[in-house]
């Protein structure tokens, strides 16, 4: 996705440059302004490649108008004024559409940099940025935030025995489960090869346990349905107070490995408060 957006961005830059050069030619400053037609052809190619028929149409209208203006083939003042107005409108519309397309490409590039190509979830960078915002929101509202890490047990064996395409399908299946069990404002990300991360804003420790149990049950049911001999271990930590992104992820990582020490296919939920007057609470560990 990122490479596709980059190609579109490069085409946009080239299109803008060529439109600028074509506009200078349309001014009639050259002895042979009909070259404006040839100069605009790459612009048409670029705009069509970008998939915007409106931009291609506006560029196409600007070409013959500019050519006729440069050749001064219309001698009547009224005709000159009408053609000039039409040409300027076409050129202006072209620039407006180019800038709008640039905005869309910029937004697409922003999303692509923060999205995992395989699963469509947030990637590590996107998750950390969104988690930082959620931690700040939780601190301001004095709410709790559940942060979790999930790791596929024996994922290498799946790749070795069933092949990497099956491994990719397993990861996509896990991503679909996380997405299906998430609210609109929950976070789900693939932060490593077979490691996922979640963040559930404004949930109590009891609610976090219930959500984790639902995700755990649904995920392993999907694995059994496809006869994949593997499981997921994950740890959820419910944090409150002033907590950084690195600290929240570290606590979730420790909780996940605590679950793994109890056996594969388990999850553990812990409650941790950075309030000096509150003590951390041991959580619940549930087997598959």
So which residues are the catalytic ones? 194
* Residue 274: exposure state from Cβ atoms within 10 A (0-12, 13-18, ≥19): middle
State the Cα–Cα distance between residues 189 and 245, nearest whole angstrom: 14
Q: Pairing mode, if any, of strands 281-286 and 267-273? A: antiparallel
Kindly tell me the burial class for residue 19, based on how many C-beta atoms sit within 10 Å of its own C-beta (0-12, 13-18, 19 or more).
buried
Neighbours of 56 (CB within 10 A): 21
Q: Which helix (H) or strand (E) holds 179?
A: helix 164-180
d(CA 248, CA 253): 9
Measured CA to CA, the distance from residue 187 to residue 169 in angstroms comes to: 21
Contact 12, 101 (CB under 8 A): yes
Tokens representing 272 are 């941790």
* Cα 121 off chain centre by: 8
Q: Which residues, 6 or more positions from 15, have their beta carbon under 8 angstroms from its beta carbon? A: 43, 46, 47, 50, 55, 98
CA 212 and chain centroid, separation: 25
């Amino acid at each position: 996705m990122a490479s596709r957006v980059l190609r579109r961005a490069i085409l946009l830059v080239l299109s803008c440059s060529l439109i600028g050069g074509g506009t200078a030619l349309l001014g009639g400053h050259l002895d042979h302004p009909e070259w404006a037609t040839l100069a605009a052809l790459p612009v048409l190619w670029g705009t069509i490649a970008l998939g915007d028929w409106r931009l291609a149409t506006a560029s196409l209208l600007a070409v013959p108008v500019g050519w006729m203006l440069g050749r001064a083939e219309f001698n009547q003042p009224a005709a000159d004024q009408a053609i000039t107005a039409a040409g300027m409108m076409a050129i202006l519309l072209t620039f407006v559409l180019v800038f709008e397309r640039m905005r869309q490409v910029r937004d697409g590039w922003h999303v692509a940099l923060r999205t995992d190509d395989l699963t469509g979830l947030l990637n590590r960078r996107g998750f950390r940025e969104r988690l930082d915002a959620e931690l700040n929101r939780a601190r301001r509202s004095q709410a709790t935030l559940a942060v979790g890490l999930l790791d596929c047990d024996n994922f290498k064996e799946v790749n070795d025995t069933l092949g990497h395409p099956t491994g990719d399908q397993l990861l996509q299946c896990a991503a679909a489960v996380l997405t299906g069990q998430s609210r609109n404002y929950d976070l789900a990300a693939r932060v490593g090869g077979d490691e996922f991360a979640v963040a559930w804003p404004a949930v109590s420790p009891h609610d976090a346990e219930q959500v984790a149990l639902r995700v755990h049950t649904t995920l392993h049911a999907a694995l059994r349905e496809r006869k994949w001999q593997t499981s997921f271990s994950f740890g959820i930590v419910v944090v409150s107070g002033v907590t950084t992104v690195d600290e929240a992820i570290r606590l979730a990582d420790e909780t996940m490995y605590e679950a793994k020490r109890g056996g594969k296919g388990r999850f553990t939920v812990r409650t941790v408060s950075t309030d000096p007057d509150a003590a951390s609470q041991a959580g619940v560990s549930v087997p598959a």
